[in-house]
Structure 1
């Protein structure tokens, strides 16, 4: 086994998903993942601190995708959040097969499902930080961020559970419409009596 063979991280992620789905998350060891990927245990730990990181190791990069999209958008908070979700959808779309498998594993293990919710909370805090710099209304901004992430989560669940879904970005658009919202609409008007 070559220590420096390119593509080790991706092979480890694919091997882990294969094993998690075949024998269960709890029964899968990091050694088995490394062996299946054709790398050493040491290579596994060079990429991931533990087996859960195989599923959550992209958190920081995805958070950055969201923040950069918000920062690049000069429109309203709603426009910025919609741009962030579109950027995330573009990142996810070509990886749908792996994300469907990942979702099956995460949903089947309560600790992983809880960590998935924590990931969304982390995204919420990151978006709040950047959005409060442009609009100081903390309550309205927080509500808009939480609504956007709830709509994303709804669309993502449909995208990973349905056999032949539309593109994730289209499902996000449908979720907005189902909630009575549309891009460009100032959701703050829905927050006040």
Structure 2
């Protein structure tokens, strides 16, 4: 989808920040005045054949879904509510049983223009590489997940400058989504994922 520049207007301004690299109001206004536009990806969510909603950043289940839901009760804290809610989710250490199907790409669980796995010690990508499907077949993953996210944008913002999917800032509007799976059962895994994405820019 081709999208005109957007003014910031939310708690994290992830859509605005992800498209122009900043959530500064003046910068956004200048982009709008100049008529700048960018191609962006939009994800749709369906259930039983019915459209449930659309997303320009990510669709998430598990940690981020729980974080967003519980953060509503802390709305008076502003953007800081995400930090409070995030800490609570780590303490609760929830995970969910599920099965995920993903279409094959040019490389297992990689962007078409990125043949690298998401990180050096990624067990999910290593398993996918060992059991790469035949042409036309989909990747199948079953397990217990703390984080299950489909990111169509980097989701960068003031709180996480690199975003939950750092590589997506270079691939806006490419028709792809980054599938992020973090196994459940370990608070260290939950903590290490947001730490790497927010502080080091890696997954």
TM-score by length of 2: 0.27
Q: Structure with the greater relative contact order (CA < 8 A, sep ≥ 6): 1 or 2? A: 2
Which protein is richer in helix relative to its size?
1
Which protein is richer in strand relative to its size?
2
